[in-house]
Structure 1
Amino acid sequence: MNVTVRAEELGDDLRRLREAAGLSLERAGELIDASATKMSRLENGLREGSTEDVAALLAIYGCVGPLRTELLKLAHEVDRRGWWQRTKPTFDERVRTLLNLERKADLIVNYECANVPGLLQLPDYTRALMIECEMVPTDEVEQRMATRMRSHSVLDQPKPLRLLALIDEWVLRRLIGSSAIMAAQLDKLAESAERSNINIRVIPNRGAHAGLNGAFWLLKRDSGHKVVYLENLTSSLFLEEPDEIETYETAIRHLARRALPAEESVRKITELARRWETGELA
């Protein structure tokens, strides 16, 4: 049975609530007359258990108010693929689903046309990006930056995920922060490209291509589970329908064909880093 983003979100939240309540998997199961195996499957997004089971667990965990309402809605909708996530009020809540998917992914393909891929950003670049866009409240910048930086750990796990970063060349030429920040950020990209699990490809500034409609992430597991993630200023969109996934996989093939080879991409990044460093691109 294939998992869905909704089912995994529900399972992750139930696990978090159980641990906060100080209950073991076995004890929580006993309280609703369920085996530890059933509880494990529920928390791993395998859609085990009924809405009534979820309601009983929420009562045991002391979960009330809007969160209870949200989780019961998820329990009703766990079989639905695709999720336009619009009800998360804070930044941490909005990105939590993505961070959970990143931790479980074996491969991420991230195409970016406006800024450096988040998993490869330096703190100074991320901070400047948030400040200069003028859409992030000043008192939230450091917290958001810390959340972004924590996500980088997925590249350093015992079994690190593989990252294919497809970057429009304009990203490397857009001044964010200062020339010094840009030089350091591009040096970081070149250094990251030396890692065996990171492949960075630059799409040169020559004509239109399949990524002009905007950035996207494809998160894939070795099991075959795939999700495409899109974001805007107020909501997140998770695509799971096979035909939608195929459209983005086709775009990835087109972008990879247009991109410079890996070694040539690194040379381009290094060349532009030196031009930022000397002030030529300022």
Structure 2
Amino acid sequence: MPAPQPSPILRRRRLGAELRKLRESARLTGDQVIEAVGWASASKLSRLENGRSRPDLRDVLDLLDLYKVTGDRREELTAITNEAGDIRAWLRSYATMTPRQRGYAELEAGCAEILEYSPVIVPGLLQSKAYVKLRILSSRQLVNDPDQDDTEDADTEVKARLARQSLLTREVEPPRYSAVIEEAALGDRAGPREVLRTQLLQLRKLAGLPNVTIQVLPTEQTIADWYLPHTGFSLYRFAEPEDPETLAIEGLATNLMVTDQKEISTYSMVFEWLQDAALGPEETITWLTERAEQRSSGPARKPAGRDPGMPPTQRSRRSGRLTEQ
């Protein structure tokens, strides 16, 4: 897999931040800009500066004219605008992609470094095929529309998530990837014995890649001065310094994306604490090997309660959608 171009979403955020800086440097308010370029909607500029809309090249050129941007700077922002609107070119980097997986694929594209802490679920970039399918099927009862049965699309979702994983093994500039995974995420509650065994072997295999560092955090290990992480999170750092570093916190129905540097610094410190508390990379490989061997022998534990292979008697009608990566 070649190095993919930065995603359109990332390019929109970069373009919006640059346009906002230019407006502020020109000492113009949003209303003054709208009046000067003759746009009918005041929200158009806001959506553009916040990276929430697909930019039109003509609109961006109007703004660059107003801000008197010329030369190399103008050419750079014009190129970013074209990349921000070209979804199809970016999607060609992936054999299969779905809307559910695209949000994280867009963040991962163009990354120089990814840091992830996962307390209960193996991160999506590290999941084995069987584990991916189990996680997708186990969340079906939380779909937004109780009358929509999208089980038949599970294989497509599996392929899309696996397509994202090619990021770690691509030949051209794969990102540095570090993950701290709680021991609980690999315990008996995570899935059937054979699924967990193959997942442990998958982690051991990926931990051998030169750009991948995986650390398991034992349940009894103390973090810093008895610190307890509030949630799992991911940090994305990009190859181009001007692309904003991003913090992602996954929720049940929505995801939180943050580019505020103070927040990111706080989570970066927490990640350092987690790494210090976790087993070292070599110790983790030994731990994964031993646990995989344990899953290969002895009687399988029968889960309590309802058979996990049986569908729930009633779907949840919660709002939103599950966005598990």
Q: Is TM more than 0.5 here?
A: yes
Where does residue 39 of structure 1 map in the other structure? 78
Where does residue 199 of structure 1 map in the other structure? 213
Where does residue 203 of structure 2 map in the other structure? 189
Q: Distance in 2 between matches of 1:112 and 1:183?
A: 18
Query: Superposition pairs for residues 19-38 of structure 1, below 5 Å?
Result: 37-38=76-77
What 5-or-longer segments of structure 1 have no aligned partner?
A: 19-27, 46-53, 58-90
Q: Is the Cα–Cα contact under 8 Å of residues 101 and 157 in structure 2 kept in the other structure?
A: no
Give the secondary structure class of the aligned counterpart of 2:142.
Answer: coil
Deviation per CA, 1:131-182: give whole Å up to 9, x if none: 2243354234223222211111211221111110110011121344421111
Q: Distance in 2 between matches of 1:8 and 1:97?
A: 16
Paired amino acid for 1:240: T
Give the secondary structure class of the aligned counterpart of 2:256.
Answer: strand
Deviation per CA, 1:3-58: give whole Å up to 9, x if none: x955259789859xx9xxxxxxxxx77xx78986543122456xxxxxxxx9xx9x
1:135 equivalenced with 2:120 (yes/no): no
Deviation per CA, 1:189-233: give whole Å up to 9, x if none: 111111101100111111564563221110112444411111112
Q: Distance in 2 between matches of 1:260 and 1:207?
A: 9
Query: Superposition pairs for residues 168-247 of structure 1, below 5 Å?
Result: 168-206=182-220, 209=223, 210=227, 212-224=229-241, 225-247=244-266
Structure 1 residue 94 displacement after superposition: 5.1
Q: Is the Cα–Cα contact under 8 Å of residues 101 and 161 in structure 2 kept in the other structure?
A: no
Query: Superposition pairs for residues 31-70 of structure 1, below 5 Å?
Result: 37-44=76-83
Give the secondary structure class of the aligned counterpart of 2:117.
Answer: strand
2:273 paired residue among 238, 254, 263: 254
Query: Which structure: larger Rg?
Result: 2
More helix by share: 1
Give the secondary structure class of the aligned counterpart of 2:220.
Answer: coil
Deviation per CA, 1:32-86: give whole Å up to 9, x if none: 78986543122456xxxxxxxx9xx9xxxxxxxxxxxxxxxxxxxxxxxxxxxxx
Q: Distance in 2 between matches of 1:256 and 1:180?
A: 28
Give the secondary structure class of the aligned counterpart of 1:163.
Answer: strand
The root-mean-square deviation of aligned C-alpha atoms, in Å, is: 3.3
Deviation per CA, 1:235-272: give whole Å up to 9, x if none: 11111111100110011011011011110011111111
- The farther-off stretch of 100-109 and 175-184 is 175-184
Give the secondary structure class of the aligned counterpart of 1:200.
Answer: strand
Q: 1:127 to 1:97 in 2, by over 3 A?
A: closer
Query: Superposition pairs for residues 56-205 of structure 1, below 5 Å?
Result: 92-93=98-99, 95-133=101-139, 134-135=141-142, 137-157=150-170, 158-205=172-219
Q: Is the Cα–Cα contact under 8 Å of residues 219 and 226 in structure 1 kept in the other structure?
A: yes
Give the secondary structure class of the aligned counterpart of 2:120.
Answer: coil
Q: Is the Cα–Cα contact under 8 Å of residues 221 and 278 in structure 2 kept in the other structure?
A: no
Q: Distance in 2 between matches of 1:274 and 1:280?
A: 13
Q: Distance in 1 between matches of 2:107 and 2:199?
A: 25
Structure 1 length-normalised TM: 0.69
Aligned residues: 224
Give the secondary structure class of the aligned counterpart of 1:124.
Answer: helix
Structure 2 length-normalised TM: 0.60
The percentage of counterpart residues that share the same residue type is 25
Where does residue 82 of structure 1 map in the other structure? none
Q: Distance in 2 between matches of 1:13 and 1:149?
A: 28
Q: Distance in 2 between matches of 1:111 and 1:213?
A: 11
Paired amino acid for 1:148: R
Q: Distance in 1 between matches of 2:263 and 2:175?
A: 23
